[in-house]
Amino acid sequence: MKDPEALEKGTEVNSSPSLTAHETRRQTLVLVAFHLMAEKGVEGLRIRDVAANAGMNIGTLYYYFPTKEELIQSVVDYLVQHIVTIQAPVVQMFVKTPADALHQHFANLVYELSETPDVFRVMDELLLRSQRDAAIYPILKQTDENWQSYLMTILEAGRTQGLFPANLDPSLTALTIMSFFKGMPVQLGMFPGELEKMVDQLERWLFRETSTD
């Protein structure tokens, strides 16, 4: 288990002076839980292990997170925030159109998959667990709905502007994109550069197939 003070790139404890000691301890527990899930899977997450690896007793952990589900909710919030805020190196100077926005979104996801793969592995672990855990399901469901809504807004605007096919279904296309990226962490035997080529093919389907029924 990694020392919470020396966590991997992109997942460090935020030591900003604006954080209170309470917030810092909460963040430490969230990151320790995240790394335990990355190493052992959701099934291997034990509250006692989280407390021990964070250097706290279990009573202190329960003060911050009264239930395991509340801790998992905070881990999901952290993962979503990470995915939203981590940006790929500049792909283009200005995002002017829905096509630009989607291209930048794809570039960010590819960058994150390459630089912080554990973020997506843990999210995939949680998605699988949510299928048989009634407490986790609504947490992941809301996250999915927010992502789908974001993509649909881009796709609907792009279709209106003639950038995407007129017969494109924004809802189904958003779900297809989500499934594509969710599946990447478990895709075996990929060679360097293949992910970028796959995303490039996906963009060509969206941007260039403009025929209508």
Under a CB-based contact definition with an 8 Å cutoff, are residues 151 and 174 in contact? yes
Distance in angstroms (rounded) separating the CA atoms of residues 86 and 212: 36
**Amino acid 53: pLDDT:** 95
**Amino acid 190: pLDDT:** 72
What's the DSSP call for residue 42?
A: G
**Amino acid 3: pLDDT:** 40
**Amino acid 26: pLDDT:** 93
Encode the chain (213 residues) as per-residue pLDDT tens digits. Answer: 444 333 434 445 454 555 688 888 999 999 999 999 999 888 889 999 999 999 999 999 999 999 999 999 999 999 998 888 877 876 655 678 999 999 999 999 998 888 888 898 899 889 888 888 888 899 889 999 999 999 999 999 999 999 999 999 999 999 999 999 988 877 766 777 888 999 999 998 887 655 444
**Amino acid 73: pLDDT:** 92
102-135: pLDDT as tens digits: 999 999 999 888 888 889 889 988 988 888 888 8
Question: 22: which 2 tokens?
Answer: 């309470």
Question: 84: which 2 tokens?
Answer: 């939203």
**Amino acid 115: pLDDT:** 86
**Amino acid 22: pLDDT:** 84
Question: 149: which 2 tokens?
Answer: 């809504």
**Amino acid 59: pLDDT:** 94
Distance in angstroms (rounded) separating the CA atoms of residues 51 and 94: 45
CA-closest candidate to residue 34, choices 7, 56, 55, 59: 7
**What DSSP assignment string belongs to 139-159?**
HHHHHHHHHHHHHHHHHHHHH
Collect all residues with Cβ–Cβ distance below 8 Å to 200 and sequence separation of at least 6: none
Distance in angstroms (rounded) separating the CA atoms of residues 196 and 202: 10
